[in-house]
Amino acid sequence: MNQSLLTSLSRIVGSRWVRHRRAELATYAMDGLPTHESLPGAVVMPESPGQVRQIVRLLHLVQVPFVARGAGTGLSGGALADRETVLIALTRMNRILSVDPVQRRAVLQPGVVNARLSEAVQPMGLYYAPDPSSQTACTVGGNVAENAGGPHCLKYGVTTNHIVALEVVLPDGSITRLGSRQGEPWGPDLVGLFVGSEGMFGIATEITVRLERIPDSVRTMLADFMTVRAASEAVSAIIAAGIVPAALEMMDQACVAAVEASIYAAGYPTDAAAVLLVELDGQGEAVEAEATTVREILCSRGARQVQSASTAADRARLWQGRKKAFGAMGRIAPDLAVQDAVVPRSALPDIMDQIESIRRTHGLAISNVFHAGDGNLHPNISFDRRDPAVTKRVRLACREIMAACVAAGGSITGEHGVGNDKLDYMPWIFDAESLGAMRAVRRAFDPTELANPGKVVPVHACREWCAVKSLRS
Amino acid sequence: MSDTIYTRLRALLGTTGVERDSDGTPRATPDTADALTLVCRLAHEEGWKIRVEGRGTWLPSDAPADLAVSTRALEQIVSVSPADLVATVQAGASVEMLRRRLADSGMWLAVDPPGRADRSIGSVVATATAGPLRQGFGPIRDHVLGCTVATGDGRLVNAGGRVAKNVAGYDLTKLQVGGFGGFGIIVEVHLRLRALPRADVTLLARGTRDALTLAGRELIAAHLLPAALELLSPALAAEADWVLAARFVGTEGAVQADVRRLASVGEVTWIPLPPERTAAFWSVAARGTLGGPITLRLGVLGDGVDETIDLLAHDLDEGLVSAGAGQGMIRWTGDALIERIRALRRAAAAREIPVTLERAPWRVRRALGHFGAYREGVGQIVGRLRDSFDPGQCLNVALEGAE
Instruction: Note the pLDDT tens digit of each residue in A134-150.
Output: 999 999 999 999 999 99
Residue in B closest to A199 by C-alpha: B170
Inspect the interface and report whether the beta carbons of B167 and A186 lie closer than 8 Å. no
Task: Provide φ and ψ at B249, rounded to 5°.
Answer: -130, 155
CA distances from A38 to A425, B219, B306, B401 (A): 21, 54, 55, 48
pLDDT in tens, chain B (403 residues): 789 999 999 999 999 999 999 999 999 999 999 999 999 999 999 999 999 999 999 999 999 999 999 999 999 999 999 989 999 999 999 999 999 999 999 999 999 999 999 999 999 999 999 999 999 999 999 999 999 999 999 999 999 999 999 999 999 999 999 999 999 999 999 999 999 999 999 999 999 999 999 999 999 999 899 999 999 999 999 999 999 999 999 989 889 989 999 988 888 999 999 999 999 999 999 999 999 999 999 999 999 999 999 999 999 999 999 999 999 999 999 999 999 999 999 999 999 999 999 999 999 999 999 999 898 899 999 999 999 999 999 999 999 988 5
Which residue of B164, B178, B388 is in closest CB contact with A441?
B388
Which residue of B84, B141, B297 is in closest CB contact with A345?
B84
Question: Which pLDDT score is estimated for B337?
Answer: 97
Burial class (CB in 10 A: 0-12, 13-18, 19+), B180: buried
Chain A partners within 8 Å of B301 (Cβ): 103, 181-182
Query: Counting one residue from A and one from B, how many pairs have CB atoms under 8 Å apart?
Result: 261
**What beta strand segments (E) does A185-257 contain?**
203-210, 212-213, 217-225, 247-252
Q: What is the pLDDT of residues A75-134, one digit of tens each?
A: 999 999 999 999 999 999 999 999 999 999 999 999 999 999 999 999 999 999 999 999
The DSSP annotation for B188-243 comes to: EEEEE-EEPPSEEEEEEEEE-HHHHHHHHHHHHHTT---SEEEEE-HHHHTSSSEE
Beta bridge partners of B199: B250
Q: How far apart are CA B223 and CA A467, in angstroms?
A: 57
pTM: 0.96
A-facing residues of B in 154-213 (CB < 8 A) are 155-159, 161-172, 174-175, 177-179, 182-183, 194-198
Give the up-direction half-sphere exposure of residue A58: CA atoms within 13 A in the CB hemisphere: 19
A-facing residues of B in 233-292 (CB < 8 A) are 250-258, 260-261
How far is Cα of residue B231 from the mean position of the Cα atoms in its chain? 18
Q: What is the pLDDT of residues A260-301, one digit of tens each?
A: 999 888 889 999 999 999 999 998 888 998 999 999 999 999
Inspect the interface and report whether the beta carbons of B223 and A417 lie closer than 8 Å. no
Residue in B closest to A236 by C-alpha: B83
The answer to whether residue B216 neighbours chain A at the CB level (below 8 Å) is no
B-facing residues of A in 398-427 (CB < 8 A) are 409-418, 422, 426
Q: What is the pLDDT of residues A246-259, one digit of tens each?
A: 999 999 999 999 99
DSSP3 helix / strand / coil % (chain A, rounded to 5):
40, 20, 40
Amino acid letter for position B207: G
Mutation site, B88, B109, B163, B255, interface A, largest A CB count within 10 A:
B163
Q: Is B47 left (phi over 0), alpha (psi -120 to 50) or beta?
A: left
Residue in A closest to B156 by C-alpha: A433
Question: Which pLDDT score is estimated for A472?
Answer: 61
